[in-house]
Structure 1
Amino acid sequence: MELADMIAAVEPDFNAERNLLGSVWNGPGYHSRVPNGSWVHQTRLSIYYALALLDDGRPEYLERAAKVIRAVLKSQVTDPYDPAYGIWPWLDEEPVAQMAPPDWNWADFIGSGLCHILVEHAGKLDAELKREITAALERAAWSIFRRNIQPNYTNIALMGAAVTGCAGEILDNAILREYAKNRLAKFLAYTRETGGINEYNSPTYTFVALFEVERILQLVREPETRSHAGELLRLFWNELANHFHPATGQLGGPQSRAYGDFLPADNARFIREATGVEIPIAAPGKEGEEFCHFTYSGIRHRPCPPDIAVRFARLPEPETEVALRCIRRQPDTHSTWCTTFLNDDFVVGSASVSIFWIQSRPLLGYWRVPGTAVPAQFRFRFLRDNRDFSSAQLYSRQCRNRILCGVGLRRDLGDHHPGLDRPADGVFHFERLAACFELTGKGAEVSRNPDGTFTLRLGSTQAVIRPGSGVFSGIPVRWECSSSENGARVEAVFYAGPSRSELFDERTELTLACGVEVLPAGGASEAGAFTESVGPESVTAAWGSLALEFPRFAQKEW
């Protein structure tokens, strides 16, 4: 979509009184108290709208861009004694002080837009506006410096390096320049040592990480910083290629953070353009519809390295298994390892340890469905009253297409979000708790088999669930299956009944052991016997060559 068309598409949403871009609010359920469906004016959308106007360059757009920039700048926290110094609110309607809580990432998000404006368009700005933008960028850079995000927060670690590196050059500030260089060097060293990125295989944030190093290469001149960015560019392309399934056009599991069921259409189109490979798009919508939310970034994308691009067209082998350490912990036995198995029909992957919050896909697969471009999606979830529950945790071991699973509880996390909505008293209220194997797609079928297993089937592929035992507060789990127009489920139900209140602490017992194998429809499992035993503090399970030990009682982080 051409830039002029992007701008024209959102012209009806421009508010000439506020000088900001309007949109329907669809927030994630935290940070903001504004109800979804409200008409709002987002600071992030508006600053990139101003950048687009400047990139277009028409005189009438330059005047509007200046007004939009000033409208965004006025909502920044400028009091140096305020802990939120240097950040912006998400919404013009909800100042930082009213957020729940403020999002410090907005120093990075808005700051990156200001970097583009000053580096690429300073000549189009009057002296006073340029001074105001420079002062705002300096505040944002010192907020980022003071917060000092570590490499395990992938996208913000990189975005903060871009903003502080660019600000250091604009301000001629040696401290910020050196900080950005060291921050990126630290990120690179950490990633080399770990073997992967902490926000691993995300259909959103792997692209954000890739785009941020492109931003560094576009805006920052410091040679060492640019060298690190170039190496990271290859690393992120490899990350995408290793998990990409050509037959479905999806990133196979596991995924650390995802906002939808499929690879976003704009990211799929980006891969097409960068690699030259005609990959399928599961839910294409309308060409350019993402610009209804104006996701313009100002980044000039670079082609995928040719030796990596070929991987998006075909698998390196008919059957491929990728195993990477994505989060390193001490001892290394507590690290998170991610395993993905791919063949021409399906892809399935799992994380060795991961929570079940709404953005996490700790066990995820896709497979082709004849007659449709939309693949089947297979997930393992933990649901509290049919919502993904952050205080449940998966433990797993995978070999090729077979995964041995254990489920337990965390006693240091929240409900819908792991860090933002834990009850003050630690007590959760619920009417139903269940672990759920879910196959999404029209025509999905489920069956309970004579040998006690369950089969989820769609098209030419199936997932065979081998149920084990489980318990919650002394009560055994109950296995159920169901289907609907859009999918089918196999569930291990821990509790279903009147509203219950439970403090999840070190005495709370919740366990489940089970296995899953993805096979061609009608294929027979050769996994071997499934065994399990319960000890004083842990459960041990084995299935063929796979073995797993996991805690009986609610745990704090490893």
Structure 2
Amino acid sequence: MTPAKTQFSLPDDFNPETLMVAKVTEFGVFHEVRRAAHLAADLVANGAPADLDLAEQILAQVLDRQEHDPADPHHGNFYWMREDEFVEDLNAVEFVLEALIPMMIRHAARLTPALQERLLAAIKLGLMEVARLDVLVAYTNIAALGVLNTCLGGELLQTPEIATRGFGKLLAWIDYTNRSGHPLEYNSPTYTAVTLRSLKLLTDLTADAPTRQAARALTARLGLSAALHIHSGTGRWAGPHGRAYQPTIVCETAPEVERLRAWLTDGTLPRWLASFVDRPMASFSIQETAERSRGIALTTHQTPTFALGVASQSFHPQANVLMLHYARPNAPRPGVLYSRYLLDDKWFGDAYHATDRTKMLNLPDEGRFLGVQEVNRAIGLYAQIGADHFASAKGVLIWTGRDEIDEIWVGEECITELPHRLDVDQAVVVARR
């Protein structure tokens, strides 16, 4: 007799009234539609009778949040939050289909025929929106999701022209990356993860051998870069970062080396990259190029105790164009130094992030940056860009853990009180324990 399947353990923030996971921010309680789609897919994969019953209810809620008005310019897309009244984030369709299409390929037979029919219709409608949006391959993580959904969606719907379009986008993305050396969203702890997850699903589920081979090749290319940027002394993903969020920047999340080890274990990354992830401590430099037409280059120098990274120029307000990670023995997390250009004395808690409905994820860089690095030395220049009216503008170097600063010297003077006004030609030395 086959033992009964254990019921899936729901997350603590699951709301049984809304049938979605609740997200609490300083602006209220929200429910992400994409998270609901992924939770439903997990329930279907687990397959216990109670899980399947709940999954059907959740999926009904997800499908009710698809835009069904043919007159709407984003017909077929999804609302980002249950509370939304229209499509606010155009990427929602990609993140929802990322859950629904693999679920249908793997476990469609576990769902009732009526729901299967409704899901297939929703997927077809969503893929029409994906085709209309046709994001540039430079938009790395969304292009990756688009490739995944279009290739697998075409196979699921038995519509070869859709799958062929997805394969063409994959080849265009690879060609773009080969010309530039690295995706535009270069060396991003957040978005490289989205990209590699998409390529893993595509590799696992596509029935097309050329698609699978191309996805594997691109995975190895991106994975090698990620592995080389893991700093052995801290376990962190060394900068510069094309895009990243505040919890990652200040090391509030788990060390990224753990994520890469998990990718090696589950097959997201090829096993031969293990020797790069867990390598002996050494001193070396990595130089790569990203968007060729913009002249973006990135340099990272690593030693056993620190990793310094600088980008040649900025391209996105979420970028970390100048970044230092350094080991702090017996401390819960490493030290971090990074730069920003800020207008009107903005600080943490001032920038609203619409996708996550919070002001706690970003401190956007508001300036134009030019940088150059030679081994452990770097020069960074900031200039004002994109604002006509402001009261103040400043370049900022930010250290995590101000209370851990030992001494600040300006010239030959030790500074004991802050703030301290500097002359233009004065040199500053900051000592950390």
Q: Same fold (TM over 0.5)?
A: yes
Deviation at 1:81, TM superposition (A): 3.1
Aligned partner of 2:165 among 157, 161, 179: 179
Q: Does the CA contact (< 8 Å) of 2:342 and 2:365 recur in 1?
A: no
Q: Deviations over 1:274-316 (max 9, x none)?
A: 447xxxxxxxxxxxxxxxxxxxxxxxx316333321122235x
List runs of 5+ in structure 1 lacking aligned partners.
27-35, 277-300, 412-425, 455-479, 484-488, 494-511, 523-558
Written as runs of structure 1 = structure 2, the 5 A alignment for 1:163-178 is: 163-178=149-164
- Report the CA distance shift for 1:170/1:356 in structure 2 as closer, same or farther (over 3 A): closer
Q: Indicate how the Cα distance of structure 1 residues 227 and 450 shifts in structure 2: closer, same or farther if over 3 A, else same.
A: same
1:168-189 deviations in whole A, cap 9, x for unaligned?
A: 1111112211100000011111
Answering whether residue 54 of structure 2 is matched by residue 64 of structure 1, we say: yes
Q: Are positions 1:381 and 2:345 aligned together? A: no
- SS of the counterpart of 1:200? coil
CA distance 1:118–1:266, shift in 2 (3 Å): farther
CA deviations 1:133-189 (Å, max 9, x no partner) are: 011111111111111112111111010011011111111112211100000011111
Tell me what 1:475 maps to: none
Per the alignment, residue 84 of structure 2 pairs with: 94
Secondary structure, aligned partner of 2:290: strand
Structural mapping, 1:482-521, within 5 Å: none
Query: Partner of 1:418 in structure 2?
Result: none
Equivalent runs, 1:184-263 vs 2, <5 Å: 184-259=170-245, 260=247, 261-262=250-251
Q: For residue 328 of structure 1, report the CA deviation from its aligned partner.
A: 1.3
Residue aligning to 1:445: 406
User: Following TM superposition, by how much is the alpha carbon of 1:355 offset from its aligned partner in structure 2, in angstroms?
Assistant: 5.0
Opposite residue 409 of structure 2, the aligned amino acid is R
Partner deviation per Cα, 1:89-114 (whole Å, 9 max, x = no partner): 111111225xxxx2111110001111
- Other-structure match for 2:109: 123
Asked whether the equivalents of residues 403 and 515 of structure 1 are also in contact (C-alpha less than 8 Å), the reply is no
Separation in structure 2 between the aligned mates of residue 513 and residue 153 of structure 1, nearest angstrom:
41
Tell me, in whole angstroms, the C-alpha distance in 2 between the residues paired with 1:181 and 1:514.
56
C-alpha change, 1:398 and 1:182, in structure 2 (3 Å) is same
Which of 302, 324, 346 lines up with 2:306 in the alignment?
346
Distance change >3 Å, CA 122–CA 337, structure 1 → 2:
same
Q: Are the counterparts in 1 of residues 15 and 22 from structure 2 also a CA contact under 8 Å? A: no
What is the distance in 2 between the residues matched to 1:110 and 1:449? Answer: 53
Q: Which has the higher helix share?
A: 2
Tell me if the contact between 2:137 and 2:143 (Cα under 8 Å) persists in the aligned partners. Answer: yes
Which of 26, 33, 41 is the matching residue for 2:31? 41
Structure 1 residues 240-292: Cα deviation after superposition (integer angstroms, max 9, x where no partner): 1121101101111100111122273285433233447xxxxxxxxxxxxxxxx
Q: Distance in 2 between matches of 1:312 and 1:135?
A: 43
Whether contact under 8 Å (1:169, 1:177) holds in the other structure is: yes
The residue type equivalent to 1:360 in the other structure is A
Shift of 1:5: 8.9
The answer as to whether partners of 1:355 and 1:392 remain within 8 angstroms in 2 is no
Deviation at 1:37, TM superposition (A): 4.4
Q: Check the 8 A contact 2:307/2:324 in 1, yes or no.
A: yes
The answer to whether the aligner puts 1:154 opposite 2:140 as a matched pair is yes
2-structure distance, mates of 1:515, 1:71: 59
Give the aligned partner of residue 337 of structure 1.
297
Residue identity in the other structure for 1:21? M
Please tell me whether the aligned partners of residues 51 and 65 of structure 1 are also in contact (alpha carbons under 8 angstroms). Answer: yes
The answer to which of 370-379 and 304-313 deviates more is 304-313
Against the structure 1 CA distance between its residues 365 and 131, is the aligned structure 2 distance closer, same or farther, given a 3 Å change threshold? same
Quote the Cα distance in structure 2 between the aligned partners of 1:517 and 1:325: 31
CA 1:42–1:77: 2 relative to 1, 3 Å: same
For 2:221, give the aligned amino acid. L
C-alpha separation in 2, matches of 1:491 and 1:436: 13
How far apart are the structure 2 equivalents of 1:63 and 1:228? Answer: 38
Superposition RMSD on alpha carbons, in Å? 3.0
Check whether the contact 2:231–2:237 (CA below 8 A) recurs between aligned residues: yes
Amino acid corresponding to residue 336 of structure 1 in structure 2: I
Question: 2: CA distance between counterparts of 1:46 and 1:491?
Answer: 51
Superposed, which structure 2 residues align to 1:458-469 within 5 Å?
none
SS of corresponding position for 1:250: coil
The residue identity in structure 1 corresponding to 2:404 is G
| 1:342 maps to amino acid | Q
Identity %: 23
Q: Counterpart in 1 of 2:355?
A: none
The answer on whether the counterparts of 2:34 and 2:96 sit within 8 Å (CA) in structure 1 is: yes
* TM-score, L = length of structure 2: 0.86
Corresponding residue for residue 307 of structure 1: 272
> Structure 2: how far apart are the matches of 1:377 and 1:349?
11
Q: CA–CA distance in 2 between the matches of 1:262 and 1:162? A: 30
Does the aligned pair in 1 maintain the 2:182–2:290 contact within 8 Å? yes
The alpha carbon displacement at 1:87 in A equals 1.0
Q: Distance in 1 between matches of 2:105 and 2:255?
A: 26
The answer to whether the aligner puts 1:391 opposite 2:336 as a matched pair is no
Give the number of equivalent residue pairs.
409
**What is the alpha-carbon distance in structure 1 between the residues aligned to residue 421 and residue 161 of structure 2?**
55
| C-alpha spacing 1:365/1:319, structure 2 compared with 1 (3 Å) | same
Q: Which TM-score applies when normalising by structure 1?
A: 0.68
Q: State whether residues 437 and 490 of structure 1, in contact with CA within 8 Å, keep that contact through their aligned partners in structure 2.
A: no
8 Å CA contact 1:380–1:438 kept in 2: the answer is yes
CA offset digits 1:505-550 (Å, max 9, x no partner): xxxxxxx9999999x989xxxxxxxxxxxxxxxxxxxxxxxxxxxx
Corresponding position of 1:108: 94
Q: Determine whether 1:9 maps to 2:15.
A: no
Superposed, 1:18-29 pairs within 5 Å as 18=18, 20-26=19-25
Distance 1:327 1:438, change over 3 A: same
More strand by share: 1
Compared CA separation, residues 327 and 482, structure 1 to 2 (3 A): farther
Alpha-carbon distance between aligned partners in 2 of 1:48 and 1:303, rounded to the nearest angstrom? 18
Gaps of 5+ in 2: 348-362
